[in-house]
Structure 1
């Protein structure tokens, strides 16, 4: 059995009733349904949009399975899309109904996890790195290694994302670079490394806003980050921070929109997908979150040359320098249990 995530308990929860036609409920990340570009979509399409935000990819399966009929669209990352397919929670896309589909970078369309049996289940939307970040005024010498997040010098002012990917961070510091195929012994070593770090941690952050507030208050000076997003929010507040890729490397991600199986709002759902892959949606997420776009043609039409270059739109091979997230399959539970064990200490 590929998925043994105590799903029987989740499936026992009562399903909620479906939402009204003409209103789409999206389960997604902060910024992906921002009013700066969603309001125009609502006005032009006549489709209302209700957004529920997640703080981790581990939120998608429980929320979706506990709320059958509530959500029409979801936007998980590439390490979670296959799980949604395997659980039977999403349906194949009608790619012919999505304008701009052929303008998506081939690199993203070739990724495992969004296609199965010759059909696509996920529409690549945005991508980037899980970089690291520090407050400029807290370091005389800029950090270059993950070791800075285990340094006594930064005690009480360190933060990590409250996500199983913290196991990936500790594994790399241990020298275990095949982070999506760790053995039980390597996962245990990563867990112990995180337990060793825990007394130095101010707080594990779960949302972009929470991390921004920690930096603004001076409670945190170094952390990992959703590259481009929290740093831009802090810049708006006059807080100088610097993102960096450590010597031990960084993870890469790609988020994809998926249609929930049996949605009664398919017409609005596809209008939404078309908007998100157009200039409106691609530059919408780039301007709000600072993330890179998957439709290079749309991005070039709506970005300045400086923004286009800064977001690696002219260099999608940049993704090859990152450890792009991969589905963990049967190992998912081992990673998640290890992270939960760290937090339980």
Structure 2
């Protein structure tokens, strides 16, 4: 949910009123002993921010964004100068390629040792050498279904094209996530740059459209909890939450494969409080702090020391939160495809939405 790629979404920036966080423009509010944070909504435990302020005396000014596409142009323009930002994998790659990020001084982030080396290796797909990004959360995209409304096994994206479930299907209002479903169903890479494959995926989505109840983002969670739909495309962290609220819901990564994503913290090149930013990143990598954030947002943590602290055996061993290698064998991480391909995907998505 927090990492959705919504086409044409409207920015709803809201400065949160955590202890010490102000509703002013970050550029105006920041002082030499400040830290200006730009993050997804509800993507950190507020108590963690309080603890950091109390321990360090650094005042946090906090802004939210809804999508990577809304965050990027604001950072690129430099209208507001942020010290730490939490983009997704492919957007980290785009920011690196456009020289917007500061290389990290790992001597000042000793707690990076708590991050599982497997996730650092995965992050090298978009951040070669792990020079710019500290992994924060990760997860998958899959199908959430209601066991009382779906009576056959769910193991393929094909079920989202089954006329039996007309008006009972929820799709993501998201360019890359929706095209990923269609592309993987057709046996293609979700990072395809082949125009014929993309057109085939778009045609497939047009074919499906009459079966779809709605293209939504956050509402997938709420509608599925409320038994308002039988099937929905959702992010794994949201699936964990929905199961707590409605035990009839199950989550699956389809056999054709899906997206496995990583969100991470970066420091912009124009950041004004880089030393404070490094302290913040090191703080977030502490096992007890990473555990607090995992319990608050329910998205999987790459912090192996934090995972060891999870007391609930069902959660610590959950294949939703921590899928096996076999479950991920056909999954891919998004990569930045370039501005020309961004345009082509968006044009095709417009066709689907207008169909």
Do the structures match in fold with TM over 0.5?
Answer: yes
User: Does the residue aligned with 1:181 lie in a helix, a strand or coil?
Assistant: coil
> TM-score normalized by structure 1?
0.83
C-alpha contact (below 8 Å) 2:37/2:60 kept by paired residues: yes
Match of residue 89 from structure 1: 100
Once the 2 structures are TM-superposed, how far is the Cα of residue 188 of structure 1 from its aligned partner? 0.5
Give me the whole-angstrom Cα distance separating, in 2, the residues matched to 1:204 and 1:43: 42
8 A Cα contact 2:44 2:297, kept in partner: no
**Structure 1 counterpart of 2:89, from 78, 88, 93:** 78
Partner of 1:12: none
2:343: which partner in 1?
A: 333
TM-score, normalisation: structure 2: 0.81
Show the counterpart of 2:249: 241
The alpha carbon displacement at 1:27 in A equals 2.7
1:168 aligns with 2:176: no
C-alpha deviation, 1:218, in angstroms: 3.2
> 2:191, 2:334 within 8 Å by CA — same for their partners in 1?
yes
The yes-or-no answer on 1:289 pairing with 2:281 is no
Task: Tell me which residue corresponds to 1:7.
Answer: none
CA RMSD of aligned residues (A): 2.9
Counterpart secondary structure, 2:210? helix
Counterpart Cα distance in 2 of 1:192 and 1:167: 11
Structure 1 pair 222/24, CA: closer, same or farther in 2 (3 Å)? farther
- The 5 A counterparts of 1:187-198 are 187-198=198-209
Matches within 5 A, 1:25-174: 25-66=36-77, 68-110=79-121, 111-113=123-125, 115=127, 120-163=131-174, 164-174=176-186
The 8 Å contact of residues 202 and 219 in structure 1, kept in 2 or not, is answered as no
Give me the whole-angstrom Cα distance separating, in 1, the residues matched to 2:344 and 2:309: 44
Map of 1:215 onto structure 2 = 224
Separation (CA, whole Å) in 1 of partners of 2:288 and 2:42? 13
Question: Which whole-Å CA distance do the structure 1 matches of 2:224 and 2:313 have between them?
Answer: 30
Contact 1:312 1:318 in 2 (8 A): no
Distance 1:120 1:276 in 2: 18
- Runs (5+) with no aligned partner, structure 2: 1-24
* 1:81-101 superposed Cα distances (whole Å, 9 cap, x missing partner): 110112222211111111222
Q: How many residues align?
A: 326
Deviates more, 1:189-198 or 1:55-64: 55-64
| 2:237 counterpart of 1:225 | no
Deviation at 1:246, TM superposition (A): 1.4
- Cross-structure match for 2:264: 256
Distance apart, 1:240 and its partner CA: 2.8
Partner Cα distance (2:124, 2:342) in 1 = 16
Partner SS state of residue 329, structure 1: coil
Structure 1 unaligned residues grouped into runs of 5+: 1-14
Deviations 1:221-274 (A, max 9, x none): 2111110x2233334434531101112222111111101222122233222211
